[in-house]
Structure 1
């Protein structure tokens, strides 16, 4: 049986979850916060990023636990990259590409580590 179509199918759900999670957690907050001392932060708060990471991690855990780790990692990484590109591409400085690359590399590293560690953690719990 050809596994390539299965990877595509099982990567679609993590892709959709990643894009939807980005929109839900980060997509609505586009303004930087100016503090009384003149410093500027944002546009995202730490709790928004944490919510995004937990949402995406839950999807990766769910897919990996069903034997679709490759699709979970690839779908999530492409989804986060696409969402960040769409959200940040209106930046006239061009530095958004660096941010998108960092999101892609970080997502790939984080989801790969999670997918690789999950079988070991669940095996320990079954003993």
Structure 2
């Protein structure tokens, strides 16, 4: 039992680091933009622009790629935990209470996408190493 816990600690530590870095990426890309834009017809959009979300996604892809080669479970768990925590903190001032729907959608979507991308990266990098191909 104790040996299993010792093997789990590096995964847990890596997951917590990834979650913290993910929260930092959210803050850098999305956290500073809290203002909704009012359109000429009176409707509102935002607060995030497409380029901000694309920047966050590309940053997280780099994190997933770097983490998968070392700690697969940490990559799959840490990034969704960080995104969920950041979304909760960022959206919790919504007076309608519907922010939790968005937070749950972020949690489920980021878990599914991170797991899929991590599995694809793990498969592609493992296959390349096993066959000896460099391309």
The answer, yes or no, to whether TM exceeds 0.5 is yes
How many residue pairs get matched? 126
CA apart distance, 1:34? 1.0
Q: Is the 8 A contact 1:26 1:48 kept in 2?
A: yes
TM-score (normalizing by structure 2): 0.87
Aligned positions of 1:12-23 closer than 5 A = 12-23=16-27
Counterpart-to-counterpart distance in 1, 2:30 and 2:102: 14
Deviation for aligned residue 1:65: 1.6
Report the counterpart of residue 96 of structure 1 in structure 2.
Answer: 99
Alpha-carbon displacement from aligned partner over 1:74-108 (angstroms, at most 9, x marks no partner): 11111110000000111110000000001111110
In the alignment, is the contact (CA less than 8 A) between 1:17 and 1:56 conserved in 2?
no
Alpha-carbon separation, structure 2, partners of 1:38 and 1:4: 53
One of 38, 41, 44 as aligned partner of 2:45: 41
1:54 offset after TM fit, Å?
1.1
Q: Please give the alpha-carbon distance, in whole angstroms, between the structure 1 residues aligned to 2:111 and 2:59.
A: 15
CA-based RMSD: 1.4
TM-score by length of 1: 0.92
Alignment gaps of 5+ in structure 1: none
More relative contact order, 1 or 2 (CA 8 Å, 6+ apart) = 1
Shift >6 Å, 4+ stretches: none
Higher gyration radius (CA) = 2
